[in-house]
Amino acid sequence: MAPGEAHEPSSREGEPASESASSGAQRGGKRPGAGRKQVEIDLTTVEKLSVLQCSDEELGAVCGVSARTIRKRRKDPQFAAAINVGRAKGRISVRRAQMRLLEAGNPTMAVWLGKQLLGQREVTPVELTGANGQPVQIAVEVLDGILDQAAKGKKNRRPR
């Protein structure tokens, strides 16, 4: 090597780094079929477990792989679709069961579904009255005292 020339590090003896970097996309070396083979995961099983809203850890335990493998396989469109279809079917199943409870006359379910699906909410009116049902009377001095205390409280607070 001539002086001043940069030495290119290599991963193998006599092979420039640029060549090994380009072949690095292939896993397990240059030989065709080299490296660890992917564990076969049945997509039908994945979909059935996803209906039950199973976590990645649970899916992995049943399929004999780690949760990390499940997370990596989600990048595969077919695998991700199996999980998404299964989870959608599971949500529909839950909704169907809720509707059965509603149709059976379950009042708690009726209220809950009304809030979730229809945006209904409970409004509790608050009414303040003074002595003997008369309106509440507040003196101006009392209001000034309340406002002064609120102002002092803001000054004494530490910044977060």
Could you report the per-residue pLDDT of 121-131, keeping only the tens digit for each?
Answer: 888 888 888 78
Contact between 46 and 81 (Cβ < 8 Å):
no
Would you say the pTM of this structure is higher than 0.75?
A: no
- For 27-84, the pLDDT digits (tens) are 667 888 888 888 999 999 999 999 999 999 999 999 999 999 999 999 999 999 999 9
Q: How far is CA 144 from CA 13, 100, 129, 153, 155, in A?
A: 86, 57, 21, 14, 17
Please state which of the ranges 4-8, 61-65, 150-154 shows the lowest mean pLDDT.
Answer: 4-8
For the cut 60, the answer to whether the pLDDT of residue 26 exceeds it is no
Residue 85: band (very low, low, confident or very high) from pLDDT cuts 50, 70, 90: very high
Taking the alpha carbons at both ends of the chain, their separation in whole angstroms is 61
